[in-house]
Copies of this chain bind each other. A is one copy, B any other.
Amino acid sequence: MASKARHTDRRTDALSRERIVATAVELLDAAGADGLTFRALSAELRTGAGAIYWHVANKSELLGAATDAVLAGATTVAEATPEAEVRALALGLFDAIDEHPWLAGQLAQGPWKSEALRIFERLGQRVQALGVPGPAQFTSATALMLFIVGAASQNAANAANAAELRRAQPDASRTALLAGESTMWEGLDPGDYPFLHDIAGQLREHDDREQFLAGVDLILAGIAALRPQA
């Protein structure tokens, strides 16, 4: 999204912080959270390992910068109602985490900085627009943020699992793979897990995106119940 000048300037442009972060995102996307290594990064940038430390304090800061870079283009919203805006923000985050699964681990611990904080702020504004009384606004915005990040992360983890299964048996059909996934649930003793056994059927034919939006709506319904009048 936010990548201009992709491969045109190959040779010897300056080693800027911007270029470091962009390359870090590429590595993270290509090889996951473990793929980002100062050695791999310096090799890709055709420089020494220590050179990166002149532009970036440490790996944690680099991961934070990569997160911000991706999140920056992920959520632009202009909808008719506050509810629709919340759904649009939620879907934007969902898709961003789906495309960049390593975001999950990054957002899990401390969404409260820079770009993530901006998203939280925007959710809060919509909560205010929905007429939630003051003391409950923080609770409502937090519930939305936690559900969105958590559910999107789960989805990304599931997708990663499915990808691994696909790598293990590349010839299996899609339905066979889905069946393989739900085996995890159906193998459980129905006596010990009656609820999971009950919903195993739905699980086999659910749409992740729909499920996600249904969850957002569930919380929006709870928020609606907080308003002074029904």
Contact = CB atoms under 8 A, between A and B. Distances in A.
Contacts of A199: 124, 134, 137-138
Interface string A106-121: 0011101000010011
A193 B114 CA distance: 11
A22 interface: no
Interface in A65-120: 104-105, 108-110, 112, 117, 120
B142 A215 contact: yes
Contacts of A223: 218, 222
Interface string A183-221: 010001000111110110011001000010011001111
Interface of A is mostly: helix
B215 A124 contact: no
A131 B194 CA distance: 15
Interface residues of A, number: 55
Interface of A: 104-105, 108-110, 112, 117, 120-121, 124-125, 127-128, 134-143, 146-147, 149-151, 153-154, 157, 184, 188, 192-196, 198-199, 202-203, 206, 211, 214-215, 218-226
A141 B134 CA distance: 28
Contacts of A120: 196
